[in-house]
Structure 1
Amino acid sequence: MSGAIVVGYTATDAGADAAALGARLARSLGARLHLVIVLPSEGTRSAAVPPERAYEDVIRAQGKRWLADAMTHLPQELTRSGHVRLGESFAEGLIAAGEEFGARLIVVGAAEGAGFGRHRLGGVASALVHSSPIPVALAPAGTAQETVDVVPRITAALGTRAGADVLLDEAVAMATDSSTPLRLVSLVPFDVPPGLDTGAIRVVAGGHADEVLAAAKEALPQDVEVSAEQAPGDSVEDAVTHLSWLSGEVILVGSSRLAQPRRLFLGSTAAKMLRVLPVPMIVVPRTRTGDQVEGDLA
């Protein structure tokens, strides 16, 4: 097994999307799948609900029914389990479960109102992408309706800011563990100091793409394909729109430089990408556990 995948499940379309993406990632990575429902603890309940033990029994029973139904829709060959947790915050409950199970990823769905195949951050997802120490995978609306069993390609959007090496390492590890082709997209055109002319930007971007491609080739097994390209277009949104996307692929992006050490913070570039992105996004913390963190808050 290669780590675990924790899915923040709710008995909604978004919950089904998260479960579907979690199953795809678990099958691709050979990981155990944990569906986790976080329900309000006794301290956050309404005064109209029976107190303490009776209250917990009622909501746990309901949560188990929801999980049992969700399990019937998962691929039966997956190693999977369901868990009901009580907590003051859905996001905090998911992070606690992720740490308990040694999760490689936490997966959540889009907020209500997202268009088919599009992202929309709700309160839980927003809290996770601004606080989780574990990479967070965001499932677009409609993921459950896709007929994709495994991830066909992993794309990593790489710039030159702090944390790019961690992002590349995570992309290489995922590609290695899943034997999935890796595409490296250089974001240098949107990451360079202002004032450089177009020709200089192309030179810098081309050199960066060659550099990360060489590093990935050295780290990857020979049987795993890897390619690199420059992000096309005049803006991040333009680049995402003009890149080709395979049904079921995922894109990895790094956390903002504003992130606390070993925590996520969705930066402006990733947020812009998310508005037009048609595939799942995985946000990766920009520091590893145990890394030196001096200067991380610059």
Structure 2
Amino acid sequence: MPIVVAYTEGDSGTSALELASVLSRSTGEALVVAVVVTTPHAAGAPEFVDGDYLAPLTQWADRVLDAARERMPSGVGASFQVVRASSIPGGLLELASRTTASALVIGSSSKGPLGRISLGSVTDRLVHSAPLPVLLAPLGYRAAPSARIRRVSIGYGGSKDGGYVAVAGARLAETLGAAARVVTFAVRPPKQFFGGIEESADELVIDRWVTRMKAAIIKQVNEIEPGRLGDRLARSLVVGDGVSWAHAIWDVEWADGDLLVVGPSSSAPAARIFLGSRASKIVRSAPVPVYLVPAPRRH
């Protein structure tokens, strides 16, 4: 199955292409690099479409794809397509469906901070509706010529679908030939009191919370995949602690080649991505690319 790359002018397209190339080296899958042209004809208004309207759009799309070809890292298999659709998200999802893509890779809004993920209008719609995994590249993301995914960090918060996300992340790591770990984040207000008793009590609360999280990982994972996976993931648990989501996420050690897996909201429609409020904060604070997992199919 191929990996669809949403390409456009500017850094958003370049960052998406860089991340998709890293993923392709790790999985062996080819890329389908796409530029979406929105047309009234695709929206069901053919009377407004003629050669004078379409020609400049087609020429622009061809120029953008030429730039993508020039930026494509060597050794990565890719094809290039212009997609006509009534909207960019719709065109990307239609292409992903038609090619039975394994994932969709997209860059961040150019209005966001460098090195972070910022959701523009296209990305925002995809992270609330896509039926396949979506990978988000931080603004300015660049990788070494031979870079691969080396470690998969699975975000876990103990929600009802936490076990499903943990298993999905572990299977992704296996596919990528990468290490796997579970990360969770403890966000708490700044300490108002200082001293031995208060400090010890605070740490005791965190220790008990970590123990409960490990037990929850084992229980939820074993319900899906009995065996040693639950124990292995629980032992890998890393906790980020801070007074905000950004502080807690940056409390965890990150490195080149890391990929953060984030699951959907508990209210997400079956087999769709729907980013909840906590997940959105994690995504916006993440210093590494993010892999969004669609909700499981409900029976």
Pick the TM interval, shorter chain.
0.7 to 0.9
Q: What is the CA deviation profile of residues 159-197 of structure 1, one whole-angstrom value per residue up to 9, with x for unaligned ones?
A: 32232233223212221222111112245x67xxxxx95
1:42 Cα deviation (Å)?
2.9
After superposition, residues 149-164 of structure 1 pair within 5 angstroms as 149-164=147-162
2:209 corresponds in structure 1 to 201
2:254 corresponds in structure 1 to 245
**Which of residues 248, 260, 283 is equivalent to 2:269?**
260
After superposition, residues 1-298 of structure 1 pair within 5 angstroms as 3-43=1-41, 51-144=49-142, 149-186=147-184, 198=206, 200-208=208-216, 218=228, 228-234=236-242, 235-288=244-297, 291-292=298-299
- Which amino acid is the alignment partner of residue 162 of structure 1? K
- Which amino acid is the alignment partner of residue 237 of structure 1? A
Q: What SS does the corresponding residue of 1:232 show, helix, strand or coil?
A: strand
TM-score scaled by length of structure 2: 0.82
CA distance in 1, matches of 2:35, 2:20: 14
Check conservation: 1:209, 1:230, Cα contact below 8 A.
no
Aligned in 2, Cα 1:155/1:198: closer, same or farther, shift over 3 Å?
A: closer
Identity %: 26
CA distance in 2, matches of 1:155, 1:106: 19
Structure 2, unaligned stretches of length 5 or more? 188-203
1:144 Cα deviation (Å)?
3.2
Q: What SS does the corresponding residue of 1:172 show, helix, strand or coil?
A: helix
Q: CA RMSD in A?
A: 3.1
Q: What SS does the corresponding residue of 1:233 show, helix, strand or coil?
A: strand
- Which sits farther off after the overlay, 92-101 or 267-276? 267-276
1:193 corresponds in structure 2 to none
1:51 Cα deviation (Å)?
3.3
1:138 Cα deviation (Å)?
0.8
- Which amino acid is the alignment partner of residue 256 of structure 1? S
Aligned in 2, Cα 1:256/1:90: closer, same or farther, shift over 3 Å?
A: same
1:236 Cα deviation (Å)?
3.7
CA distance in 2, matches of 1:226, 1:149: 28
Aligned in 2, Cα 1:258/1:32: closer, same or farther, shift over 3 Å?
A: same
- Which amino acid is the alignment partner of residue 254 of structure 1? G
1:226 Cα deviation (Å)?
9.9
Residue correspondences, number? 277
Structure 1, unaligned stretches of length 5 or more? 191-195, 293-298
Check conservation: 2:163, 2:217, Cα contact below 8 A.
no
- Which amino acid is the alignment partner of residue 102 of structure 2? R
Check conservation: 1:186, 1:228, Cα contact below 8 A.
no
- Which amino acid is the alignment partner of residue 257 of structure 1? S
